[in-house]
Structure 1
Amino acid sequence: MARLFHGFRCPCCEPAVARRREVIRAGLGGLAALALTPAVAAAQAAGGGARVLRIRRVQTGESFAGVYWRDGRYDRDALRRLDVIFRDPSMDEVTPMDPRLFDVLHTIARHLDSDEHYEVISGYRAPETNAARARQSRRVSRVSLHMSGMAADVRLPGRQAIAIARAAADMQIGGVGLYRRDGFVHLDCGPARRW
């Protein structure tokens, strides 16, 4: 049963969403790859081979640098390690992240020819954390994809936030939010849109 908070259903608690994430987590990477936007799918097909991510969590200093997809499948161990790094540190709550988010990050880093670690400012947010942030700022959505493990707020050293946002927007990769004043970009694996 989906939990209600502030009059909205929590998307991460919907049974259908939970089942879908479990299927993805079970290693059926092919299903997730089919759901990619055409631009991401084309970029992945052109690159072939392994998909690599370099991540550093700002709040905890934890990092990951390695392959998360190879031989047509997501690496379960790598996904578990990434889930921990992308957790909600204020609640110390881990959720299965949508691997398509990692595909978005990989594709953008490759497009920008960057081998730097993404600095992750926000990954998964528990509904309580998101609600608290929404009360503090109108810029935080009350139904954020962060609560579904489908979004991250990131920086990429050596690249301006606007360059990351433009690359993602030009490639029509998910949601792209530019927070120029704060120096980061929101990226998600939801429908293509920008703000």
Structure 2
Amino acid sequence: MARLFHRFDCPCCDPVVARRREVIRAGLGGLLGLAAMPVAAQAQAVAAGGARVVRIHRVQTGDSFEGIYWRDGRYDREALRKLDVVLRDPSLDETTPMDPRLFDVLFTVAQRLGAGDEAYEVISGYRAPETNAARARQSRRVSRVSLHMSGMAADVRLPGQQAMGIARIAANMQIGGVGLYRRDGFVHLDCGPARRW
């Protein structure tokens, strides 16, 4: 059974404060997402009521999620809970609330690539601090202050897409951090400040 941390365990996650943040994020995310999409995709998203779909397959666990995570101007809480479980730290079976803006990044990149029907293969999602520290000891390429620990990052592949192409599109969009791990064949995407490595 996954060890769950509830969304309301800290004062900043109070339901009233969280709801306000969701409304602001949804509005900003919607504007950024639509601005980054090609005109045809923008029209399709608006015609479909602006619903956003994400498809994720977790490599280590075999867990998957395919569905709408944002509709009618707000995030779907049940979908977010399911995504939290899929992107959990499998080494400790620990779950944390993932930042919904990460899914906006994944959605927007897939749309721009014309790969909206493909499932992301997630190599790494949330990492507990202990897991991240262990990985940082093994490799200099792992940041000791990784956004994976905040539920803001995922290391991904898209079938049929080259890692370099994903990284280039994501970096050009300037909607978060992008790291290309060419040798390992995956891309780090996050919803932090725009940067690349």
**1:147 and 1:107 mapped to 2: Cα distance?**
22
Q: Which amino acid aligns with 2:69?
A: Y
4+ runs deviating over 4 angstroms: 20-28, 34-39
Tell me which amino acid in the other structure corresponds to 1:80.
R
TM superposition shift of 1:73: 0.9
Q: Corresponding residue for 1:113?
A: 114
Instruction: Give RMSD over aligned pairs.
Output: 2.4
Q: Secondary structure at the match of 1:59?
A: coil
Does the Cα contact within 8 Å between 1:154 and 1:186 map onto a contact in 2?
yes
In structure 1, what is the equivalent of residue 55 of structure 2?
54
User: Unaligned 5+ residue runs, structure 2?
Assistant: 1-9
Could you tell which deviates more after superposition, 21-30 or 173-182?
21-30
Q: How many residues align?
A: 179
State the identity %.
72
Who is 2:178 aligned against?
Answer: 176
2:158 & 2:149 partners in 1: Cα distance?
Answer: 23
Mapped partners of 1:21, 1:99: distance in 2: 16
* Gap runs ≥5 in structure 1: 1-16
Name the structure 2 match of 1:76: 77
Distance 1:134 1:96, change over 3 A: same
- Larger mean CA deviation between 168-177 and 38-47 belongs to 38-47
Whole-angstrom distance in 2 between the partners of 1:152 and 1:43: 20
Alignment-derived partner of residue 185 in structure 1: 187
Mapped to 2, the partners of 1:142 and 1:91 lie a distance apart of 18
Counterparts of 1:73 and 1:155, CA distance in 2: 27
Kept after mapping to 1: 8 A contact 2:98/2:126: yes
- 3-state SS, counterpart of residue 54 of structure 1: strand
C-alpha change, 1:192 and 1:50, in structure 2 (3 Å) is same
Instruction: Please report the TM-score for the alignment, with normalisation by the length of structure 2.
Output: 0.83
The 2-side partners of 1:97 and 1:53 are apart by 14
